[in-house]
Amino acid sequence: MQLDDAVPVADEITITLRRPIKFVDQVYTEISLREPSAIELSKAMKEAGEVDMVIALIQMVSGIPRRAVEQLAQRDLGECARFFAQFSLQTLPVSGALLPT
């Protein structure tokens, strides 16, 4: 695929959570994500595994505490992973484990 053929992607997205997350005295019903910066991507890619990498990206770009992000339902986590993966599938390896069909 050439640069000219690239499918346009949204810079930001808000995902309504299937199950609200309660953390400390806050309830999260949605997560707003944006395209990660190079340094955020670099930091996230140092995580031990793919799930931890996606959790780190969500935490960095949304501002939601990691312990809250760790409570996401699998489908919500997968939706976040798909959002990040659309920017560069070669840079951000997201396997089928997070992307249900």
Q: How does pLDDT run across 38-60, given as a tens digit for each residue?
A: 999 999 999 999 999 999 999 99
**72 neighbors 18 (Cβ within 8 angstroms):** no
> In this structure, is residue 10 part of a structural domain?
yes
> CB neighbours (10 Å) of residue 101?
3
DSSP single-letter state for residue 60: H
Using an 8 Å Cβ cutoff, are 31 and 15 in contact? Answer: yes
Residue 96 belongs to a domain: no
Q: What is the dihedral of CA 83, 23, 71, 60, to 10 degrees?
A: 40
In a domain, residue 80? The reply is yes
Helix (H, G, I), strand (E, B) or coil at 58: helix
Query: Is 93 within a domain?
Result: no
Domain count of the fold of the chain: 1
**What is the pTM for the complete model shown?**
0.80
Instruction: Write out pLDDT tens, residues 63-94.
Output: 999 999 999 999 999 999 999 988 865 444 55
Distance (Å, rounded) from C-alpha 101 to C-alpha 49? 21
